[in-house]
């Protein structure tokens, strides 16, 4: 080794030692440090991700967005969201959302919210059913089950089976996972027949519903609904596919 190489090697060792000392010193200091200032804005997270337009509208229309913001700020348990994509909403049977009253819409959206932070690996050890924000959580109304298989996380509501298809956001307090289906709770869709075998459309009734949504002053809600109407063609197509799959 030349003198230069010696010096270089020595410098590396020194750097390494310095680094070790640094981390040893730094770690105890970092532990009590608080997280990011203020709660994370869920709406912003979803907006940034794109493809969650309808979910965002429904979060706002039902005021569940505010509820999440408050819960994130007021508790240390964190939160977990299963965020259905726009495609997930557009592949719902038409009239699925319109069949719900305002209170039930709130429950449907709250069903996608778990009042604790669950990392992907924690899904392997959580016990079923999971509590959701919907209904009376102490009585485990609106339960949701998860099963893991390797790295994949399957979700079952008793009506909807799907799996986590991506992590949108995670920071140790808030986790947002993408799902490709709207999670339909058993409590809203299990007892009633419409979900499994959608009845033929009744256009007159739909119009009445749309008008009824108006006076509530929920602009977001009704525009979400009109968007739903816009994608009706896609839904019809999805129905056709579903029918074909059923026949196979």
Ligand X SMILES: *[C@@H]1O[C@H](CO)[C@@H](O)[C@H](O)[C@H]1NC(C)=O
Query: Which residues sit at the interface with ligand X, rule CB under 6 A?
Result: 38, 41, 43-44, 47, 69, 73, 128-129, 145, 147, 149, 154, 156, 158, 161, 163
Nearer to ligand X, 43 or 137 (CB): 43
Instruction: Supply the minimum distance, in Å, between the C-beta of residue 73 and ligand X.
Output: 4
Coil vs helix vs strand at 79: strand
For the chain, state the CA radius of gyration: 24
**What's the rounded Cα separation, in Å, for the pair 82 and 134?**
13
DSSP state of 130: B
Instruction: Supply the minimum distance, in Å, between the C-beta of residue 154 and ligand X.
Output: 4
Structure tokens that stand for 236 in this block: 């019809």
Nearer to ligand X, 41 or 170 (CB): 41
Instruction: Supply the minimum distance, in Å, between the C-beta of residue 32 and ligand X.
Output: 18
Nearer to ligand X, 47 or 201 (CB): 47
Nearer to ligand X, 133 or 157 (CB): 157
Structure tokens that stand for 239 in this block: 């129905």
Instruction: Supply the minimum distance, in Å, between the C-beta of residue 157 and ligand X.
Output: 6
CA neighbours closer than 13 Å in the CB half-sphere of residue 27: 5
**What's the rounded Cα separation, in Å, for the pair 158 and 185?**
7
């Amino acid at each position: 080794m030349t003198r230069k190489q010696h010096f270089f090697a020595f410098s590396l060792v020194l750097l390494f030692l310095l680094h070790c000392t640094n981390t040893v010193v730094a770690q105890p200091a970092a532990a009590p440090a608080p997280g990011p200032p203020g709660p994370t804005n869920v709406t912003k997270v979803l907006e940034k991700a794109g493809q969650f337009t309808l979910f965002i509208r429904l979060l706002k229309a039902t005021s569940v967005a505010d509820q999440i913001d408050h819960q994130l700020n007021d508790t240390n348990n964190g939160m977990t969201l299963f965020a259905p994509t726009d495609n997930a909403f557009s592949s719902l049977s038409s009239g699925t959302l319109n069949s719900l009253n305002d209170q039930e819409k709130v429950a449907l959206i709250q069903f996608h919210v778990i009042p604790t932070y669950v990392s992907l690996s924690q899904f392997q050890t959580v016990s079923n059913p999971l509590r959701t924000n919907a209904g009376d959580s102490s009585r485990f109304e609106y339960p949701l089950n998860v099963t893991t298989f390797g790295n994949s996380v399957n979700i079952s509501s008793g009506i909807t089976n799907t799996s986590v298809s991506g992590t949108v956001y995670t920071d140790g307090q808030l986790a947002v996972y993408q799902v490709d289906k709207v999670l339909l709770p058993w409590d809203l869709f299990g007892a009633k027949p419409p979900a499994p075998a959608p009845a033929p459309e009744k256009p007159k009734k739909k119009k009445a519903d749309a008008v009824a949504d108006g006076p509530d002053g929920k602009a977001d809600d009704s525009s979400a609904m009109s968007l739903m109407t816009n994608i009706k063609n896609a839904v019809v197509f999805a129905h056709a596919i579903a029918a074909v799959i059923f026949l196979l």
